[in-house]
Amino acid sequence: MHIENEPSLLYPRDEILETRYDRNGVTDSASATERDTEAELEHQAYLREQEPRKLWDGYYKFDLSVPPGLPRAGWIAGRGRWPTDTRALAKANPNGGVDLLLATQPLPRSLHPEPHGVSLDGRNISKSHGALNHGKSTIQIGPLQYEFTYTNRTEAEESKFQEDKKDYFETELHAPSPPPALSVTPSQNSLQIGEWTFSSPLGKGVSGIVSAASNFKGDAVAIKSMVRSSQRDSRMIQQEVEVLESLKSLLEDADTDRRIMRLVEVIYQWGSPIWDGTRPFEYVWILSLPLARSTFAELVRRDTSRDTDCNMAFFQQILQGVAFLHRHRWMHCDIKPANLGLVSLNPPRAVILDLGQARSIPNSGWFEPYPGTCGTIGYLAPEMERELFNESVDVWALGVVGYELMTGSHPWMMAQNPWREDKEQLRLRWEDKYRTTMRELQEADDGTIEHLLTQMLQHSCGNIGNTNQRISASEALQHEFWQLSTTVTQKKRKI
Ligand SMILES: Nc1ncnc2c1ncn2[C@@H]1O[C@H](COP(=O)(O)OP(=O)(O)OP(=O)(O)O)[C@@H](O)[C@H]1O
């Protein structure tokens, strides 16, 4: 390959080949005296197409070391109908030649001038776009065929590539680089399920591994891979699927702000939702939207240069999601940083993930304690395993997350659950930590986040605090803090 001065045009390595198409079977019957009919014009165009022409043979390399001349447009292979200045790009001449344009974003329809038809792996994408999400893809443009292949990179090459990509996004596209796990680039031996190609795993929980996956249109989803190898696994998976299905229509109709993940599809490895036990194990894949770029766990881990306004915007959105669930008589039951996703940083968009443990609230409004069946140590409200409890356990858990967002550390993390019968010593230590934390928070004025958190972290166990005083999610959204913080943000913006 050699590269000339214009970096957007990558010329092939090999010599230009002169090729003559086979003209057999084409009859040159048009008479010079006849008027040009539409059919004849078409025929002449066809004959022109059959003229000897120069074909490029060789390969093109798309690489960050050779960035495109017009970064917003993307990489170009071919003679290039695309001029190098943006205004002219809009008026691109559709007959200037055949190119392959690897755009960084879908092109507007008016910029799809290819008259011959374009297909990707046999699918017509002339009027749309396609994602190169297989290790190898075939791109057909009229009579030309390209084979697109991803290079396998070593670990060192991969980390260099990720660094270069970050620089490229920041300097050329003025946007944050998408995290590697969200890239549609397939990993080596990527798994393909239906139309979805898996990329790298995003997170792991007790019940499954969640990966990003994309289809040929470039749509991205989260896929949770779960294995069932017993009736018990099968029941647990089925329970999660039923909850997600019940919430799906509710969310589609009502959750206009999209604060909660939603089910897209469930794929059973052998097609049946019923486990018949004839195979040693089977996969079940749960597809959901949106795909989060990271979670609150990362937000909490960030150093002290935390962007408080942004963190509070995320926190408020999650509170809205929780209030939505409670209004529709659902309780999440496992609120914690790893289950709260960040979809976008600017504008901030957060989403509640993992509804696997969500429960619908009974008419009585109360749940019986059933130790060890839901929630995560560190986020369990004290009453949860000892007394009748209600959906306000979500508010407690979110209060703990709010404290972590604010300070970067957990107020009372313990390896074991201090609320079990035999954990008296642990419980005393917990109560100590709780009192210290609350005293610290109560020093702040009304209308501050600290004040809001003290109201979210009320409880009645051990005669300290009072669950009845715990604020509900919708009351928390009305807290003075939000009014004041909006004013502060607006003032900041004006400056
Ligand atoms: N839509 C998504 N986008 C990005 N990451 C996700 C998404 N859904 C889940 N994850 C990540 O995958 C992790 C595991 O997913 P999930 O919580 O659904 O599994 P789980 O087995 O139920 O976990 P747990 O152990 O918390 O019960 C999450 O904690 C989160 O970090």
**Average pLDDT of the chain to the nearest whole number:** 78
Ligand 1 atom closest to residue 203's alpha carbon, by position in its atom list: 12
Mean pLDDT over 223-248 rounds to 93
How far, in Å, is the centroid of ligand 1 from the Cα of 358?
A: 14
What is the extent of the structural domain holding 212? Answer: 191-289
Q: Is the pLDDT of residue 250 over 60?
A: yes
| Residue 273: both structure tokens together | 């939702």
Q: Is the CB of 243 under 6 A from ligand 1?
A: no
Query: Within this chain, do residues 269 and 243 fall inside the same structural domain, yes or no?
Result: yes
Can the peptide bond before residue 290 be classed as cis, meaning omega within 30 degrees of 0? yes
Q: Is the pLDDT of residue 373 over 60?
A: yes
Q: Is the CB of 295 under 6 A from ligand 1?
A: yes
Q: Residue 270 is part of a domain; what is its CATH number? A: 3.30.200.20
Q: Is the pLDDT of residue 245 over 60?
A: yes
Query: Within this chain, do residues 281 and 302 fall inside the same structural domain, yes or no?
Result: no
Residue 186 falls inside a structural domain: no
Q: Which DSSP helix (H) or strand (E) runs through 439?
A: helix 424-442
Q: Is the pLDDT of residue 8 over 70?
A: no
Query: Within this chain, do residues 126 and 29 fall inside the same structural domain, yes or no?
Result: yes
Cα 413 versus chain centre, distance: 29
Q: Is the ipTM of this complex over 0.90?
A: yes
Mean pLDDT check: name the lowest of 80-89, 183-192, 230-239, 405-414.
80-89
Of 245, 270, 289, which residue constitutes the final position of a domain? 289
3-class SS of residue 349:
strand
pLDDT at 486: 57
- Range with the largest mean pLDDT of 4-18, 276-290, 359-373: 276-290
| Residue 204: both structure tokens together | 């792991």
Query: Residue 127, annotated ligand binder?
Result: no
Mutation choice for ligand 1 from 210, 247, 285, 301, CB with most ligand atoms inside 8 A? 210
**What DSSP designation does 109 have?**
G
Query: Within this chain, do residues 284 and 322 fall inside the same structural domain, yes or no?
Result: no
Beta-carbon contacts of 243 under 8 Å, excluding residues fewer than 6 positions away, are 355, 356, 358, 359
pLDDT tens digits, one per residue of 283-337? 999 999 999 988 999 888 875 555 678 889 999 999 999 999 999 999 999 999 9
What is the count of structural domains for the chain?
3
Query: Within this chain, do residues 209 and 113 fall inside the same structural domain, yes or no?
Result: no
pLDDT at 491: 41
Residue 175 falls inside a structural domain: no
Mean pLDDT check: name the lowest of 179-193, 327-341, 394-408, 480-494.
480-494
Which pairing describes strands 196-204 and 209-214: parallel, antiparallel, or unpaired?
antiparallel
Of 289, 305, 326, which residue constitutes the final position of a domain? 289
Ligand 1 atom closest to residue 207's alpha carbon, by position in its atom list: 21
- pTM for the model stands at 0.76
Residue 180 falls inside a structural domain: no
Q: Looking at per-residue confidence, does 142 or 82 come out higher?
A: 142
Under the banding of pLDDT at 50, 70 and 90, the label for residue 195 is: confident
Query: Within this chain, do residues 416 and 374 fall inside the same structural domain, yes or no?
Result: yes
How far, in Å, is the centroid of ligand 1 from the Cα of 192?
A: 20
Share of the chain above pLDDT 90, in %: 35
Residue 55 phi, psi dihedral angles, 5° rounding: -115, 140
Supply the residue whose CA is at minimum distance from atom 19 of ligand 1: 205
Q: Residue 389 is part of a domain; what is its CATH number? A: 1.10.510.10
3-class SS of residue 407:
helix
pLDDT tens digits, one per residue of 399-437? 999 999 999 899 998 888 888 878 888 889 999 999 999
Question: What are the percentages of helix, strand and coil residues in the chain, rounded to 5?
Answer: 35, 20, 45
pLDDT at 345: 83
pLDDT at 39: 72
Mean pLDDT over 480-493 rounds to 61
Q: Is the CB of 375 under 6 A from ligand 1?
A: no
pLDDT at 214: 87
Mean pLDDT check: name the lowest of 24-33, 171-180, 258-267, 444-453.
24-33
pLDDT at 187: 67
Query: Within this chain, do residues 400 and 262 fall inside the same structural domain, yes or no?
Result: no
- Range with the largest mean pLDDT of 61-70, 100-109, 256-265, 349-358: 349-358
Q: Is the pLDDT of residue 243 over 50?
A: yes
Q: Is the pLDDT of residue 129 over 60?
A: yes
Residue 479 falls inside a structural domain: yes
Mutation choice for ligand 1 from 342, 354, 374, 376, CB with most ligand atoms inside 8 A? 354
Supply the residue whose CA is at minimum distance from atom 23 of ligand 1: 205
How far, in Å, is the centroid of ligand 1 from the Cα of 268?
A: 19
Q: Is the CB of 210 under 6 A from ligand 1?
A: yes
Residue 118 falls inside a structural domain: yes
**Torsion over CA: 64, 67, 68, 74 (sign):** positive
Q: Is the CB of 207 under 6 A from ligand 1?
A: yes
Q: How far apart are CA 479 and CA 181, in angstroms?
A: 37
Mean pLDDT over 216-240 rounds to 91
| Residue 445: both structure tokens together | 């004025």
How far, in Å, is the centroid of ligand 1 from the Cα of 203?
A: 6
Under the banding of pLDDT at 50, 70 and 90, the label for residue 465 is: very low
**What DSSP designation does 191 have?**
-
Cross-strand pairs, 76: 9, 101
Q: Is the CB of 224 under 6 A from ligand 1?
A: yes
Supply the residue whose CA is at minimum distance from atom 26 of ligand 1: 205
Query: Within this chain, do residues 279 and 307 fall inside the same structural domain, yes or no?
Result: no
Query: Within this chain, do residues 327 and 463 fall inside the same structural domain, yes or no?
Result: yes
Of 289, 314, 331, which residue constitutes the final position of a domain? 289
Residue 160 falls inside a structural domain: no
Ligand 1 atom closest to residue 288's alpha carbon, by position in its atom list: 1
Q: Is the CB of 341 under 6 A from ligand 1?
A: yes
Q: Is the CB of 205 under 6 A from ligand 1?
A: yes
Ligand 1 atom closest to residue 289's alpha carbon, by position in its atom list: 1
One-letter identity of residue 253:
D
Query: Within this chain, do residues 109 and 65 fall inside the same structural domain, yes or no?
Result: yes
Residue 174 falls inside a structural domain: no
How far, in Å, is the centroid of ligand 1 from the Cα of 283?
A: 17
- Range with the largest mean pLDDT of 121-125, 256-260, 391-395: 391-395
Ligand 1 atom closest to residue 208's alpha carbon, by position in its atom list: 21
How far, in Å, is the centroid of ligand 1 from the Cα of 353?
A: 7
How far, in Å, is the centroid of ligand 1 from the Cα of 146?
A: 38
Beta-carbon contacts of 191 under 8 Å, excluding residues fewer than 6 positions away, are 197, 198
Query: Within this chain, do residues 255 and 298 fall inside the same structural domain, yes or no?
Result: no
One-letter identity of residue 169:
F
How far, in Å, is the centroid of ligand 1 from the Cα of 204?
A: 6
Under the banding of pLDDT at 50, 70 and 90, the label for residue 219 is: confident
Mean pLDDT over 476-486 rounds to 85
Q: Which DSSP helix (H) or strand (E) runs through 480?
A: helix 480-494
Query: Within this chain, do residues 234 and 370 fall inside the same structural domain, yes or no?
Result: no
Share of the chain above pLDDT 70, in %: 74
How far, in Å, is the centroid of ligand 1 from the Cα of 415?
A: 21
By the 8 A CB rule, do 80 and 92 touch?
Answer: no
How far, in Å, is the centroid of ligand 1 from the Cα of 295?
A: 9
pLDDT at 169: 86
